């Protein structure tokens, strides 16, 4: 997708385009996004927060005194803008602005879904605590097929509303969205960091669904977004109750999103990052952070969600997020691997396949590769800006498969 704003900061532009994409399901309005972006200075995290917070505060105040349908729409967009406001602040986990904006994002989302039929917050038992999410109940009698959805490295369960949860509901699927460890509600409420053995997360979610007699236990699918395109296949490799898995988009080795910024071989980076001390690597990381907005953001956010103190520790932890060593080959259920032709993180280069194609190549289960292109306006990471197109193709595949 052509970079229309923030020409000197690809990360600010992508997050803006991501917001524009949420307009498909009511999560943003084009004019609001453009007007807010115009008040932001490239690379200035405080400026980003101030602008999005102001838009969210204005909208939520209007929604609080509006008639029901207007309130629903206003709260839904305000929720998105609050979430966006605190997105770049995680380099300092103690920043009080994080909890404020995150809390308001959830409050506004709850206020919005109160005006939708069949959508409710849920808590899923998990290792002595709960995973928070949302149930989208399809109309009509059961037993029904179900879709479990989770986000990735930085997205939330609330955001999955704009990645197709209501689209599944209206097609007859009971949809369950949730935040796992490392994802917003789990890291905010319970300080649960990410874990690579995602089957340990999905297992309790499947337990929760199969306890409901309205759900057909033989027709439960799993969909993961962004880094979830590695986590969901990882879970499917070890969770036999899944009838299908969707990777939006496919990821075989997550570390490849960051190694190009450091000019270090992936295996060497993993080894050196895990060392007790490597001052040369620390200098390389510091210089690359300054030069590349995406790496700067990824390291700040990565320390926060992985529960580590340094950028090098984050890179060591992140190197464990892969489907190598025969994991991809263990999957037995049908797999839909989505690919974005111009993915900011996982498109590969002329010398290497994209991450979706690497995953596809290693699968031995029934598999489908679905590529989204520039001509379709769908080539951005996770097809931001073409949500309706992506949702249609994904659920048509699920209808044929599940």
Active site (annotated) includes residue 79 = no
Question: What is the DSSP track for 345-375?
Answer: TT--BTTB--HHHHHHHH--SSEEEEEE-TT
pLDDT at 351: 52
Residue in this structure with the two tokens 């979610």, named with its chain if needed: 205
Other C-beta atoms closer than 10 Å to the C-beta of 215 total 20
CA 295 vs CA 87, 93, 290: distances in Å: 14, 18, 8
d(Cα 218, Cα 254) in Å, to the nearest integer? 30
User: With contact defined as beta carbons under 8 Å apart, do 22 and 80 qualify?
Assistant: yes
Q: Mark 339-361 as b/e (b = at least 16 C-beta within 10 Å).
A: bbbebbbbbeeeeeebbbbbbbe
Q: Which of 226, 319, 354, 384 is catalytic?
A: 226
pLDDT at 344: 86
**Helix, strand or coil, per DSSP, at residue 185:** helix
d(Cα 237, Cα 397) in Å, to the nearest integer? 20
User: With contact defined as beta carbons under 8 Å apart, do 135 and 120 qualify?
Assistant: yes
Q: Which structural domains are found in the chain, ordered by start? A: 10-112 (1.20.1440.110), 119-253+335-401 (3.40.50.1820), 257-318 (no CATH)
pTM of the model as a whole = 0.96
Q: What are phi and psi of 105, to 5 degrees?
A: -60, -45
DSSP state of 137: P
Half-sphere exposure of 247 (CA within 13 A, CB side): 39
User: With contact defined as beta carbons under 8 Å apart, do 132 and 92 qualify?
Assistant: no
pLDDT tens track, the chain, 402 positions: 788 899 999 999 999 999 999 999 999 999 999 999 999 999 999 999 999 999 999 999 999 999 999 999 999 999 999 999 999 999 999 999 999 999 999 999 999 999 999 999 999 999 999 999 999 999 998 899 999 999 999 999 999 999 999 999 999 999 999 999 999 999 999 999 999 999 999 999 999 999 999 999 999 999 999 999 999 999 999 999 999 999 999 999 999 999 999 989 999 999 999 999 999 999 999 999 999 999 999 999 999 999 999 999 999 999 999 999 999 999 999 999 999 998 889 987 655 789 999 999 999 999 999 999 999 999 899 999 899 999 999 999 999 999
Closest CA to 107 of 86, 135, 76: 76
Structure tokens that stand for 390 in this block? 């992506």
pLDDT at 349: 66
**Helix, strand or coil, per DSSP, at residue 68:** helix
pLDDT at 350: 54
User: With contact defined as beta carbons under 8 Å apart, do 199 and 230 qualify?
Assistant: no
d(Cα 203, Cα 196) in Å, to the nearest integer? 14
């Amino acid at each position: 997708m052509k970079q229309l704003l923030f020409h000197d900061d690809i990360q600010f532009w992508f997050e803006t385009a991501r917001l524009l994409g949420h307009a498909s399901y009511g999560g943003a309005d084009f004019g609001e996004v453009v007007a807010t972006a115009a008040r932001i200075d490239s690379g200035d995290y405080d400026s980003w927060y101030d602008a999005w917070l102001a838009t969210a505060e204005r909208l939520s105040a209007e929604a609080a005194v509006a008639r029901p349908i207007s309130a629903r729409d206003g709260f839904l967009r305000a929720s998105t803008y609050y979430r966006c406001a605190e997105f770049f602040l995680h380099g300092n986990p103690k920043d009080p602005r994080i909890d404020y904006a995150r809390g308001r994002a959830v409050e506004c989302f709850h206020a919005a879904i109160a005006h939708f039929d069949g959508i409710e917050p849920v808590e899923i038992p998990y290792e002595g605590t709960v995973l928070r999410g949302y149930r989208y109940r399809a109309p009509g009698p059961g037993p029904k097929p179900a879709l479990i959805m989770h986000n990735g490295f930085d997205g939330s369960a609330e955001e999955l509303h704009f990645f197709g949860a209501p689209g599944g509901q209206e097609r007859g699927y009971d949809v369950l969205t949730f935040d796992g460890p490392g994802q917003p509600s789990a890291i905010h409420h319970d300080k649960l960091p990410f874990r690579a053995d995602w089957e340990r997360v999905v297992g309790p979610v499947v337990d929760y669904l199969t306890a409901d007699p309205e759900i057909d236990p033989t027709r439960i699918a799993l969909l993961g977004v962004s880094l979830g395109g590695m986590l969901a296949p990882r879970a499917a490799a070890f969770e036999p109750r899944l009838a299908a898995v969707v990777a939006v988009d496919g990821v075989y080795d997550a570390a490849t999103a960051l190694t190009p910024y450091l000019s270090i071989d992936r295996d060497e980076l993993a080894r050196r990052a895990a060392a007790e001390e490597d001052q040369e690597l620390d200098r390389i990381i510091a210089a690359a952070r300054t030069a590349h907005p995406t790496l700067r953001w990824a390291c700040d956010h990565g320390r926060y969600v992985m529960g580590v103190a340094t950028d090098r520790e984050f890179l060591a932890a992140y190197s464990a997020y892969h489907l190598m060593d025969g994991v991809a080959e263990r999957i037995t259920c049908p797999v839909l691997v989505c690919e974005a032709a111009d993915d900011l993180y996982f498109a590969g280069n002329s010398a290497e396949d994209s991450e979706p194609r690497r995953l596809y190549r290693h699968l031995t289960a029934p598999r489908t590769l679905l590529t989204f292109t520039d001509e379709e306006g769908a080539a951005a990471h996770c097809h931001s800006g073409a949500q309706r197109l992506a949702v249609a193709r994904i659920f048509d595949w699920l209808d044929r498969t599940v």
